[in-house]
Each structure stands twice: as structure tokens, then as C-alpha cells.
């Protein structure tokens, strides 16, 4: 990297999963809209043709009149080429195909087990982890070999186990997991200020929060706006909207399966007195089947199962639009994605120091959970440094819920690394959503592993 009058040039970013039609375009736009950084994005993907497409798209965007910086995009056929010389590494992949995802989400429904997302916990999250962990073992080994000093940004789910695997394989890696779910809750609190206090135009970054928990099961025990404690106001907000829910657009959850009315978030506040800082679709999967008992219960809580068919339909639409971008028939709109990767880059480079939530191994920032377990808390970004902020400890009744999943994820990691089917099954039946008898659970587990066997090399199924 080269520093020149407050600008940093020749930043080298390796992007594993660089053939993406989704996150890649957000990254391309975010980088183009910043005027302090420039350099090269080195794209690596198992589908080299897709990486070449993003090379073309990224280079075309750099020529847009409204682009504030020029980045060079280059596709590489090997991970070695992409990583060698990289200052930063981004990992954002889809572990498997829609066939495996369909099994993750919908095979359990045959046994009365429902999941709204199926990518973090629950039977689907566990099986997804089993096929993702071997990939992350290879990524960690490659990073240790070719870019040991690079900072690694992980965006793939299951976030906790992907990040945990990187550290298990390469303990000295400088990696962290990035998720925007807390941002959404800060945004909700900003809208609450408008609704109850008439304070409009508050940006979510103005809501200061203390974050504790694990990815997609994060909690806030402190939230302020300009020094004012927001918990009393949130209690009023919950009482006002508990039954009908609160959305940007009324009943959006009915037609958009990626949204919810926040009723689960409100219910968890009434139960535990803390603000659950993730979307309802994720929160529901960490609890017993209070919210996912059956389709009627799901509708009652005003959220939906994000079906794999809906994802496939979205994929077709995205691919059609993406092809128009690649051909030049349409231009990529340059707008900020809402992610923080550019600001995080600047923090680690030393341009600015700031605090945000990330997923890191526990070195004492969160009490009441094992050291080394990956937790989500705030951390300080500064020059070549990421320092966790002491977050404290969750109340026992909430910590028990979080700890249950941490220990289960540790069992899942051990099972994946040792290819131990029995150990994986013990984690499977220990998930709060798997409330079926053992024989049926064994049958479901066997079916799900069989459906994802192409991604389980060396397993005896």
C-alpha cells in the first residue's frame, strides 16, 4: 500500500467467492464511492468464468463518471495467485447448491421441524456447517501459506463456525466475521425515536449500543441516543406495537419473506428485558419452537419461512439483470450497500479509528462463555489492530440460551473436523428445534447427510 496526501493507493484485496452476483456488486459500488482508497481486487472463484464476469463489471464501474476512485479487478484461476501479496481477504461463498439448501430448509418439515432461514442453527444450519467447515479448513491453510499477515473479513454463514474454523486451523490468523443484523436493530431504534418522540432523520450509527451474544443471536443491554437511555422508550414501543408488530410498510412480511413485523423481538424483550438485536427470522431458530411450531404459529408471529424456491426465483431474476450489467445494457447503480467493509478497511489501514460490532474469538470481552468461542461484541478498529471492547455478561437466563448454542457449535466443529457422524448427531438432537423422538431424528439426520454427501468427503455415511 502507498500513502499519498491522505489517500491510500495500491490496496490489494483478495476476494474468495469473487464470482458472486450478490455481494460482489455491493463491494464494487462501495469501493467506487470512496475517494480515499484505490487498488486491486483479486477475484477467485471455483467458477472462473463468473470471476471473469465480475472482473469486467468492476473495471467498467471504475470508468463511471460518478466513481470517486479507480479500482482494478482481476480474476485468478488459483487461490494461490489471488492471495499472494494480498493486504486483505474477503470471503463470501455459497456452500453448496440450491439442492443442498433445499434439503437444509425443507427436509426437516417432513418431520414437523420448521426453520425460517436454515443457515445458522437448527438442523439445516448444522448440516450447512458440516459441508462448509472443510472449505474453510482449506481457506485457512491457503491464507497461512500465501497471505499470513492479511486481515480476513468473513461474510459467509454460519458466521460463527466459519470464523471459528479459520482460527482453529490457523490460530494466528487476523480474521473477523461481519454481519449487518445489529445495524437493522439500530435502525429500528432510530425509527422508534421518530414514532414516539418525533425525532426524525436519526442515522443508525447515532444509536450507541453494547452488543453481547453470538451471530444472529445477539443482544443489547445498553442503548443510547445523545446520552439518553433508550430502554424506557423501547418498553413503550414494545407495548404499543406488541400485537400488531412494527414494519416500514404494513404487512410487508406477507409478500416479502425476508422481512418480519418484529413481534418476536418484542416478545423476547418482554420475557428477558433485553433487546434482541437480530431479525425475527434468525431469532426464532435459536429458541425452542415457540415461534416455529407450525405454519399457523409462524403466521401468528408475523414472519415467514424464506423458502428455497423463493431464493431460486430471486436468483433467476438477479442473473437476468446481472447479465445486462455485464453486457453493458444497464449500468450498476452506485449507492452505498449499508455494509461497513470500506470503513473497516480504513480503520485497519489507519485512516480512522471507530467502533462497530464484529465476530471474534472470546479473549475475555464476554464473560460467562468459554474462552476461544467466537462471540459477537463491539471492537475498536485502528491501524493494523482490532481490539474487542469489554461487553460484560448476559443475565443468567439469557446466557444459558446463548451458551447452549456455543457448546453445540463447538461439538459441530469437532464432528466436522473428525468426520464423526455420531458426534454430529449428538449436536443435531441437542438443537432446541429438534423436538422429535430419537428414531425419527436419526432418520432425518441420515437423509440430510445423504442429500449433502457430495460435500462430505471422507465421511462414512
Question: What are the catalytic residues?
Answer: 180
d(CA 222, CA 232): 11
What angle, 0 to 180 degrees and rounded to 10, lies between the N-to-C axes of helices 231-241 and 263-272? 120
Q: Are 280 and 256 in contact (CB under 8 A)?
A: no
Q: Are 452 and 100 in contact (CB under 8 A)?
A: yes
Return phi, psi of residue 41, to 5°. -105, 120
With CA atoms as reference, report the closest residue to 351 among 34, 36, 10.
36
Return phi, psi of residue 10, to 5°. 60, 35
First to last CA, the chain: 48
d(CA 337, CA 183): 12
* Element spanning 352, H or E: none
d(CA 222, CA 86): 38
With CA atoms as reference, report the closest residue to 42 among 68, 17, 67, 25.
17
Extract the C-alpha cell encoding 434: 429438534
Those residues whose C-beta lies under 8 Å from the C-beta of residue 39, and which sit 6 or more positions away, are 1, 8, 9, 10, 11, 12, 13, 71, 72
DSSP β-ladder status, 217-225 and 228-229: antiparallel
Q: How many CB atoms lie under 10 A from the CB of residue 56?
A: 15
Return phi, psi of residue 420, to 5°. -100, 105
Cα torsion 450, 452, 453, 459 to 10°: value is -90
Secondary structure, 3-state, 364-387: CCECCCCCCCEEEEEEEEECCEEE
- Burial status of residue 203 (CB atoms within 10 A of its CB: 0-12, 13-18, 19 or more): exposed
d(CA 3, CA 9): 6
Give the side-chain half-sphere CA count within 13 A for 75.
Answer: 21
Looking up cell 497461512 gives 144
With CA atoms as reference, report the closest residue to 115 among 280, 272, 242, 268.
280
Provide the CA 423 distance to its chain's centre, in angstroms. 26
With CA atoms as reference, report the closest residue to 357 among 222, 161, 166.
222
Amino acid at each position: 500500500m502507498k500513502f499519498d496526501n491522505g489517500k491510500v493507493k495500491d490496496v490489494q484485496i483478495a476476494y474468495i467467492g469473487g464470482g458472486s452476483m450478490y455481494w460482489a456488486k455491493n463491494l464494487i459500488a462501495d469501493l467506487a464511492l470512496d475517494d480515499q482508497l484505490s487498488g486491486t481486487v483479486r477475484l477467485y472463484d471455483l467458477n472462473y468464468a463468473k470471476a471473469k464476469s465480475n472482473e469486467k463489471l468492476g473495471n467498467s464501474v471504475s470508468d463511471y463518471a460518478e466513481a470517486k476512485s479507480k479500482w482494478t479487478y482481476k480474476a485468478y484461476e488459483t487461490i494461490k495467485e489471488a492471495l499472494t501479496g494480498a493486504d486483505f481477504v474477503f470471503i463470501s461463498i455459497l456452500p453448496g447448491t440450491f439442492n443442498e439448501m433445499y434439503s437444509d430448509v425443507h427436509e426437516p418439515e417432513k418431520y414437523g421441524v420448521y426453520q425460517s432461514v436454515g443457515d445458522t442453527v437448527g438442523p439445516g444450519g448444522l448440516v450447512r456447517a458440516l459441508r462448509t467447515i472443510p472449505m474453510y479448513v482449506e481457506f485457512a491453510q491457503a491464507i497461512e501459506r500465501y497471505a499470513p499477515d492479511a486481515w480476513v473479513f468473513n461474510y459467509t454463514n454460519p458466521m460463527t463456525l466459519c470464523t471459528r474454523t479459520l482460527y482453529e486451523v490457523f490460530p494466528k490468523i487476523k480474521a473477523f466475521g461481519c454481519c449487518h443484523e445489529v445495524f437493522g436493530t439500530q435502525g429500528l431504534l432510530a425509527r422508534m425515536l421518530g414514532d414516539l418522540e418525533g425525532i426524525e432523520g436519526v442515522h443508525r450509527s447515532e444509536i450507541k449500543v453494547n452488543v453481547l451474544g453470538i451471530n444472529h443471536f445477539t443482544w443489547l443491554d445498553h442503548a443510547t441516543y445523545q446520552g439518553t437511555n433508550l430502554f424506557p422508550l423501547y418498553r413503550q414501543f414494545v407495548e404499543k406495537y406488541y400485537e400488531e408488530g412494527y414494519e416500514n410498510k404494513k404487512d410487508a412480511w406477507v409478500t416479502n419473506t425476508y422481512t418480519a413485523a418484529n413481534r418476536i423481538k418484542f416478545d423476547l424483550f418482554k420475557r428477558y428485558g433485553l433487546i434482541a438485536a437480530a431479525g425475527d427470522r434468525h431469532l426464532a431458530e435459536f429458541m425452542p419452537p415457540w415461534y416455529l411450531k407450525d405454519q399457523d404459529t409462524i403466521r401468528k408471529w408475523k414472519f415467514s419461512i424464506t423458502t428455497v424456491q423463493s431464493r431460486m426465483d430471486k436468483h433467476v431474476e438477479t442473473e437476468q439483470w446481472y447479465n445486462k450489467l455485464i453486457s453493458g445494457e444497464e449500468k450498476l447503480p452506485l449507492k452505498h450497500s449499508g455494509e461497513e467493509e470500506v470503513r473497516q478497511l480504513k480503520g485497519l489501514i489507519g485512516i480512522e479509528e471507530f467502533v462497530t460490532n464484529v465476530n471474534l474469538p472470546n479473549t475475555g470481552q464476554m464473560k460467562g462463555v468459554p474462552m476461544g468461542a467466537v462471540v459477537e461484541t463491539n471492537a475498536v478498529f485502528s491501524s493494523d489492530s482490532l481490539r474487542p471492547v469489554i461487553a460484560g455478561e448476559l443475565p443468567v437466563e439469557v446466557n444459558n440460551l446463548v451458551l447452549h448454542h456455543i457448546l453445540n457449535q463447538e461439538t459441530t466443529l469437532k464432528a466436522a473436523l473428525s468426520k464423526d457422524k455420531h458426534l454430529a448427531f449428538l449436536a443435531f438432537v441437542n438443537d432446541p428445534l429438534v423436538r422429535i423422538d430419537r428414531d425419527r431424528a436419526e432418520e432425518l439426520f441420515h437423509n440430510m447427510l445423504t442429500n449433502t454427501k457430495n460435500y462430505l468427503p471422507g465421511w462414512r455415511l
